[in-house]
Structure 1
Amino acid sequence: MPSQVFPEIARVDARDKVLGQALYGADINLPGMLYAMLVPATIAKGRVGELDVRRATETAGVVQVLSIGDFPTLRPEISFLGQPIALVVAETIEAAIEGAEAVTAVYEASPFVALMSSPGAHRVPAEGFSTGDVESAFQNAATIVEGTFETPTQHHNPMELFGTVAEWSGGRLTVYEGCQNVDAVKGALAKALNLSPDAVAVKSEHVGGGFGQKSPPKIQTALVAQAARLTRRPVKLVAPRGQVFHIANYRPRSIHNMRLAANAAGRLDAISYDVVQENIPDGGFRSTGYHEDIARLYAIENFRATAADVHIDRQMPRHTRGTHPFPAGFALESLIDEMAHKLGKDPVQFRLDHQAKKDIIAGQPLSPHFLNDCLTEGAKRFGWSKRVPEPGSMRLDDGTLVGFGVACGIFGASMSASEATLRVRANGTTRMISSGHEMGQGMLTAIANVITQGLDINPDRLEIQLGDTTRGPQIATVGERGTASCIPVALKAVHALRAKFEELAGSNPPAGNLHEQLARLKRPYIEVTATELAPGQDPSALKAFRSGGRAGAGPDYPGFTSMSYIAQFVEIHIDPMTRRIRMPRAVSIADIGRVVSPRTAKGQMYGGVVWGFSTALREETEVDPRFAGYLNDDLADYVIAVNADIGNIDVGLIDQPDPRINSVGVKGMGELVMLGTAPAIANAIYHATGKRIRKLPIRIEDVL
C-alpha cells in the first residue's frame, strides 16, 4: 500500500548552497590545472579547409592548441554555426580566451537552411496516430473550432553554464561536470576515447539547473578529457553563454494545425491534429511525441495525428522542460477554451465534464487520477465564480482590462529500475548511496524525508550521495522519472534495514535511537542494499540499469497508464493605453501522486508558473537567417521573466497516491509544472480583449 502522508521538512541542501559550500562541476580546482576555451566554427555548413593556429600558440600563457586530428570527435565537416573546431589550453582563462580569438580558419562553405521558412526547407513526414472514426465525427459535428498555433525556438538558460573539469591518474579518467545523466556521459567518453568504461568516472554532485539541456552528453566533455590526456594536467572549461546557445540543445520551433469537433449534445467528439517542427536529419527529438500526452487528457474517443520535420542546418533540438506537451497543450487548451465559449459553457465545467478514464493510445485504463480535483480546488482558491463570461466585460476602475483564464496540463509518469545502499553507523552518521541527480528540484530532500520518517536517526548527520558513477549506476534524471524511481527504492531500503535490525536486536532491543542501539549492541554499522523495478519490468531491466543501458518504463505499464496532471488559473491585466500585459496572480494545483517533499514540490510549482509566464510573454530565440546563428545569445537580450513580472502565486497539491505505479504512490512533476500556464494566459487575454492569439510569445502589438 502507498505510504503515509509526508510532513514538510527544510531543504537538506539549503545551508550548503547559501554558504557557497555546495560544489558544482566548475567549482573543482585541482593542482596544476589548465584552462581551456573552444574555438567555434563561423559558418553554418561546409568544411574546414585550413586552420591557422600559429598566432594562438605564440600567445603568452598558451600551452597547446588542439584541433582537428587531435580529437576523435573533431572533424573538418561543419554541420552548424558554433561547432567546435579547436580547443586552446592555457595557464589562465584570460590566455585561453586570447588564444582562441587568435585562431583563424579558411572554410569551404555550402548552402544551408537556417529556418523552417528558408529556401530549400522541406517537410519530411513522420509516423502518426489514429483511433476511432475521425472523418465521421467531423462530418456529423454540430460545432467545429480550428486554428494554427506557433511556438518559437527557445533556449533553456539554467544558471550553471557548461562546466567540465577532467583529470587523468594512472590511466583512469575522472570528469566533474553538471549533468542529468552521468552514466550516458561515462559511456560516451569511453566510446570517444577508446577506453574501458571501468576506466572512466563521472561526478555530478550538484547541478545548477538542467531543464533537459544537460541530459545528453556535451560536445565539450570529450574534448576537455582528451586535452587533459595530451597535456598530462587537469583541464577546466566553462563555455560562455553565447557558445552554450550554439552548442546546447534547445526547444524547436513548431507549428500546430488542430481541429476540434463537438456533437449536438455539446460533447467533444474528435480531434484532428497535424504538427511540424524544425529538426536536423535523424534528430533525437521526435515530432511524433506531440500527440502522446494530450490524447490522454480528456475523454475524446476519435483522435487523428500526423507529424513531420522540416530539416534545418543548426544544432540538434531536444527536450526542454515541458517537452512535447507544452506546445501541443498550448494548441489544445486554447481550442478547448474557444469551444467552451462557442457552446456557451463555462471553461472549467466543460473540462470537468470530459474527465478521461481510458488511455486511447495504449487501449487500457488510466490509473486513478485527480485532474478534476485540481480544477475544482483551483477554481475555489482563484475565485472563478466571480468571472463574468463575456469577453471585455471585466475592468478595474481605471479602465484596466481584466481577464480570467484556465488551462490544464498532463505529463507521463515514468519510472526506472534503480538501486540504493543504506548504512547506519554507531558513530551517529547515516549514508545513503542512491541514483539520480540533484538539480535544485529537491531529490535530496525527498530521499531524506523517506529515511528520517522511517528510521530513528540523527537527521543532521545524514549524507546522501547522488550523481557519482564511482558510487554505483545512476538513473537519467529526465522525463519526470527521478523522484518516482529513487523514492520507492529508498523506502524499500528503509524497510529492509529496519527488518535487519529487528532480527539483530531480538525481542528486547536496547534503549536509544538507532545509532545508540548499534553502539550498545557493539555493532559498528548495519547496511542493506535494495533494488526496485517499474511495473512490468523483469530483472533484465536491473541488469541494463547497472550496465548503463536503458532501464526506464512508462507511462503505459501492463494493464494501466499513469499520468501527472495540473490545472492553472491566471488573472491578466492589460493597460488600456499602453496595452502592457501583467499577471497579478495565479493559482496552480497539481496531482503528482503522493507528495514526498512538500516544500521542494511547491518550490517547483512556483518556478513552473514563472517559466510558463516567461514562455508565454517573453521568450523567443532570434535566429539570424543569414548565418543560422542566434542573435540574442545572452541574458541581456534573451528576455525572460523577472521579479517585477510576477504577482502572487498560490500553489497546491492534491497529495493522493497512485496505488498502481509504485509502493509510495509517487509520480513525477518536473516537466509538468509549467504546462498549462501559456494557454491559460492566452485564454485570459481573450477574456480581457476578445482576441484569440495563437502565436507565442504574446507581444504588446498582439493586443493593440
Structure 2
Amino acid sequence: MPTQAFLEIARVDARDKVLGRAQYGADVKLPGMLYAMLVPATVAKGKVSALDVAPAMETPGVVQVLGIGDFPALRAEISYRGQPIALVVAETVEAAIEGAEAVTAVYETAPYIPLMTSPGAQRVDAEGFNTGDVDRAFQNAATIVEGVFETPTQHHNAMELFGTVAEWTDGRLTVYEGCQNLDAVKAALMKAFELSPDQIAVKSGQVGGGFGQKSPPKIQTFLVAHAARLIRRPVKLVTPRGQLFHIANYRPRSVHSIRLAANAEGRLQAIIYDVVQENIPDGGFRSTGYHEDIARLYAIENFRATAGDIHIDRQMPRHTRGTHPFPAGFALESVIDEMAYKLSKDPVELRLEHEAKNDIVAGQPLSPHFLNDCLREGASRFGWSRRLPEPGSMRLADGTLVGLGVACGTFGASMSASEATLRVRADGTTRMISSGHEMGQGILTAIANVIIQGLDINPDRLEVLLGDTTLGPQLATVGERGTASCVPTAAKAVEALRTRFAELAGANPPAGNLHQQLARLKRPYIEVKVSELAPGQDASAIEAYRTGGRAGTGPDYPGFTSMSYIAQFVEIHIDATTRRIRMPRAVSIADVGRVVSPRTAKGQMYGGVVWGFSTALREESEVDPRFAGYLNDDLADYVMAVNADIGEVDVGLIDKPDPRINSVGVKGMGELVMLGTAPAIANAIYHATGKRIRKLPIRIDDVL
C-alpha cells in the first residue's frame, strides 16, 4: 500500500441513508410477520409466584403469550426491575402493547440495594496495580494535589432501538438486528437452540449506533427466536426506550480518589489512585480497567491503583463509548490541571514536559506516538497563547466569565485477526467481502478507500459487504479494533490482487483500467482471499476468528504497546447573572495513526466533542431508590446536547502512521474521540470561576 496520506472520498453509505434505503433491524418486513412486546418485572428483586396471562389472551389480535416456563431464558427469580417475565406476540404492534399491559404478576419480594450509597451496600475489592516506589515519591514530594471525583450512571441512547426479527425456514434460523458482535450472537443462539453453524444466520447491515451497548447477546434475541420457532411465523420486537433503560447495559456510576505528587523541580513523580464503581455480583465490567489507559498517558513512573465494586440490584453495567478512560481521565486530567496552577505552570506546558515513552503497565516501550503534536497543533489553532493564567481574569464586555481549558486522553490500539475476499470483474464491478459492523463510524468508507487508492477500478461500482454471518466470520467491532483490523486486511487483499494480476498479464499488460484489462485478457474476473494477524498472533488466532473464539489482542503487543491519543481545548462562557454555561468554541486534535477515511474520521471527532459536552454538562440517569428504576427513561427527560448547545468545533488529525501495529499504520479512534472533553470543560470552568468541580454532570448550581 502507498505510504502517503489517503485522499478524502465521500461516504459510500451516504446516498442509501439519505434516500432511506439503508435497512436497520427494525426495518425488516417479512410475509406473515407477527409483532412482540416484552412484559417487564415491576419489582427490583424477588420471585414471580403467579403470572396471569388470561386477560392478554383475550385482547383482540393477540396470538400467543409466552411466559416463565415457556422460555429457558425467562426465570422466576427477579434480579432487577424491568427484567422480562413474558412476551406477548400479536398481529399488530398495537395489539402486542395492549396485551403486554394486560399481563399481571404476583411477586414474592426481597430486600434490594438500588444505589452505591444505599444502606447495606458494601465494597468488594478487586486486583490492584503497583509500580515504582510510590511511598518514597510522596515522602519526597514538594507539592501534592488530591481530590475525589464522581461520574454518574449514564445510558447510551442510540437512535436505533433494539430491533430483532427472527424467522425459521426448514429448521434454519435467520435473525436480523443491530449488533456489534454477530459471531457472539450466533454462538449463543447455536448453544441455546442446539444448532450447527450452517443452521443459523445473523445479519446486521447497519447497526444504527452501538457505543458498546449492542455488543453482548441480548435476551430479547433468544425470546424472539424462540417465539418464532413455537408459533412458526416470523416475529419482530422493537423494545421501547423506557424498557431499554432497565434491561440494556449502561455506564456505571464511579467514584475516583486520586493523589498526584510533584518534586521541587515541578516534575510529576507519583500517583495514588483508587476507584470504586457500581456493579452486580460477578458483573463483567472490570473495576480494574480504569487505571490501565491513564497510567500510560504521561511519564509518571510511580503508580499505585486500587479498585473495587459496590454490588447493587439493577441490570449489569458494561462498556460505553470511552469505557474506562472517560471517567478515569476526568479525575486524572482535573488533578493535572490543578497541579499546573499550584506549580505556576501553563497546563499545556506541564503536559508537554511529561511525554510518555514507556508503558509502565506492561513494562515495555510505547510505539511512536504524537500526543505532543496534538497539544501543539491544538494550542495553535485554539489561540491558547491569549489565555490569562489567573482564574476569573478573562471576561467579555458584558461581564460574561470566560474560561479556557485543556485536557488529553488515550485509548488502547487493539486489533483482531481477520479475513477478506476481493473480486474484480471484467463487467466493471468490484466486490469486497469483509468482516465487521457499520455503526455509522465509516468502516465501509475506510475499506472502500483502501481499494480505490490501491486499484484502478470503477469506484462507483464498488460493493463492500460485511455484517452478515453468511458472508463469513464477523469480527467484534468493539474497543477501537474494527477499522484497525479490517483496513490492513483490505490492504493485503489489494496487494495480493495486484500481484495476481501481474502474473496473469505478464510483461505487457493491455491498456485500460483493471476491468478493461481483464476483458481484453478474456478473464471474467480475478479474485483473492487473504487473512491478516495482529502483531504477535499465530495461526491459532485465525482459527479462533473462524470459529467465533477470541481473536482480538492489544494494546500491549510483544515488545511494544500502541495507543491512540487526543488533545481537547475548549472555551467556556458563564453568564455573570444566570450562571448559564456555554461552549462557543472547541478544538480537538487526535493521533490515530494513518487516517484512512478523512471524512468519516473527522465526523467521528465532531461527534466525540458533542458527546463529551453532553456527558460533562447534561447527561445523568436518575435512579429512584424506592424502586431501583430509572426516572428519566426517555429522550424528553434524559437531557442530552442539542444543536443550540454546540458552537464552533475545529477538528484535526496528525495523520502519521504507527509503523509497528500494522502494514497501514492505522489505529482505532471510535472510543477515543470523546475523551478529554469533559475534564477540559471542567478545567475551563475553573479558569473562569476559580471553582474546582469534581463531579459530572456540572450544573448551573455548581457554579453559583
**Structural mapping, 1:17-416, within 5 Å:** 17-416=17-416
Q: Is this contact kept in 2: 1:225–1:235, CA < 8 A?
A: yes
2:676 and 2:363 map into 1 onto residues whose CA distance is: 25
User: Which residue in the other structure is 1:451 paired with?
Assistant: 451
User: Which residue in the other structure is 2:433 paired with?
Assistant: 433
One-letter amino acid of the counterpart of residue 378, structure 1 = G
1:453 and 1:358 map into 2 onto residues whose CA distance is: 35
Shift of 1:190: 1.2
**Structural mapping, 1:612-623, within 5 Å:** 612-623=612-623
1:486 and 1:44 map into 2 onto residues whose CA distance is: 42
Shift of 1:560: 0.2
Q: Is this contact kept in 2: 1:2–1:659, CA < 8 A?
A: no
Q: Which moved more, 1:509-518 or 1:374-383?
A: 509-518
**Aligned-residue CA RMSD (Å):** 0.7
Q: Is this contact kept in 2: 1:602–1:651, CA < 8 A?
A: yes
1:469 equivalenced with 2:469 (yes/no): yes
- Per-residue deviation, residues 7-34 of structure 1 (Å, max 9, x unmatched): 0000000000000000111111000000
- Per-residue deviation, residues 192-217 of structure 1 (Å, max 9, x unmatched): 22222331110000111111110111
One-letter amino acid of the counterpart of residue 650, structure 1 = D
Q: Is this contact kept in 2: 1:73–1:192, CA < 8 A?
A: no
**Structural mapping, 1:649-660, within 5 Å:** 649-660=649-660
Secondary structure (helix, strand or coil) at the match of 1:614 reads helix
User: Which residue in the other structure is 1:567 paired with?
Assistant: 567
Secondary structure (helix, strand or coil) at the match of 1:206 reads coil
Secondary structure (helix, strand or coil) at the match of 2:273 reads strand
Q: Is this contact kept in 2: 1:2–1:663, CA < 8 A?
A: no
1:72 and 1:334 map into 2 onto residues whose CA distance is: 48
User: Which residue in the other structure is 1:578 paired with?
Assistant: 578
Q: Is this contact kept in 2: 1:2–1:665, CA < 8 A?
A: no
2:589 and 2:497 map into 1 onto residues whose CA distance is: 36
User: Which residue in the other structure is 1:504 paired with?
Assistant: 504
One-letter amino acid of the counterpart of residue 146, structure 2 = E
TM-score, length of structure 2 as denominator length: 1.00
One-letter amino acid of the counterpart of residue 409, structure 2 = G
1:452 and 1:473 map into 2 onto residues whose CA distance is: 24
1:185 and 1:96 map into 2 onto residues whose CA distance is: 25
Shift of 1:495: 0.5
User: Which residue in the other structure is 2:627 paired with?
Assistant: 627
- Per-residue deviation, residues 324-360 of structure 1 (Å, max 9, x unmatched): 0000000000000000000000000000000000000
1:504 and 1:244 map into 2 onto residues whose CA distance is: 55
Shift of 1:669: 0.2
2:67 and 2:426 map into 1 onto residues whose CA distance is: 54
Q: Which moved more, 1:517-526 or 1:685-694?
A: 517-526
- Per-residue deviation, residues 647-669 of structure 1 (Å, max 9, x unmatched): 00000000000000000000000
One-letter amino acid of the counterpart of residue 254, structure 1 = S
Secondary structure (helix, strand or coil) at the match of 1:64 reads strand
Q: Is this contact kept in 2: 1:3–1:663, CA < 8 A?
A: no
What percentage of aligned pairs have identical amino acids?
Answer: 85
- Per-residue deviation, residues 74-112 of structure 1 (Å, max 9, x unmatched): 111111100000000000000000000000000111100
Shift of 1:4: 2.2
Q: Tell me: CA distance 1:302–1:2, structure 2 relative to 1, closer, same or farther (3 Å).
A: farther
Shift of 1:219: 1.2
- Per-residue deviation, residues 357-404 of structure 1 (Å, max 9, x unmatched): 000011100000000000000000000000000000000000000000
1:377 and 1:658 map into 2 onto residues whose CA distance is: 19
Q: Is this contact kept in 2: 1:2–1:657, CA < 8 A?
A: no
User: Which residue in the other structure is 1:594 paired with?
Assistant: 594
Runs of 4+ in structure 1 off by over 3 angstroms are: none
2:76 and 2:396 map into 1 onto residues whose CA distance is: 62
Secondary structure (helix, strand or coil) at the match of 2:528 reads strand
Shift of 1:2: 7.2
User: Which residue in the other structure is 2:691 paired with?
Assistant: 691
Secondary structure (helix, strand or coil) at the match of 1:584 reads strand
2:101 and 2:640 map into 1 onto residues whose CA distance is: 30
TM-score, length of structure 1 as denominator length: 1.00
One-letter amino acid of the counterpart of residue 303, structure 1 = F
Q: Is this contact kept in 2: 1:190–1:200, CA < 8 A?
A: yes
- Per-residue deviation, residues 282-303 of structure 1 (Å, max 9, x unmatched): 1010000000000000000100
- Per-residue deviation, residues 132-160 of structure 1 (Å, max 9, x unmatched): 01011111100000000000000001100
Structure 2 unmatched runs, 5+: none
1:489 and 1:267 map into 2 onto residues whose CA distance is: 43
Structure 1 unmatched runs, 5+: none
Secondary structure (helix, strand or coil) at the match of 1:35 reads strand
2:200 and 2:100 map into 1 onto residues whose CA distance is: 28
- Per-residue deviation, residues 161-183 of structure 1 (Å, max 9, x unmatched): 00000000110000000010000
Shift of 1:515: 1.1
One-letter amino acid of the counterpart of residue 312, structure 2 = I
Q: Is this contact kept in 2: 1:40–1:85, CA < 8 A?
A: yes
1:199 and 1:138 map into 2 onto residues whose CA distance is: 61
Secondary structure (helix, strand or coil) at the match of 1:192 reads helix
Shift of 1:684: 0.2
2:184 and 2:467 map into 1 onto residues whose CA distance is: 12
2:611 and 2:494 map into 1 onto residues whose CA distance is: 36
1:638 equivalenced with 2:638 (yes/no): yes
Tell me how many residue pairs correspond in the alignment: 704
1:518 and 1:67 map into 2 onto residues whose CA distance is: 59
1:120 and 1:550 map into 2 onto residues whose CA distance is: 38
1:70 and 1:435 map into 2 onto residues whose CA distance is: 35
Secondary structure (helix, strand or coil) at the match of 2:572 reads strand
1:474 and 1:33 map into 2 onto residues whose CA distance is: 27
1:84 and 1:335 map into 2 onto residues whose CA distance is: 43
Shift of 1:258: 0.2
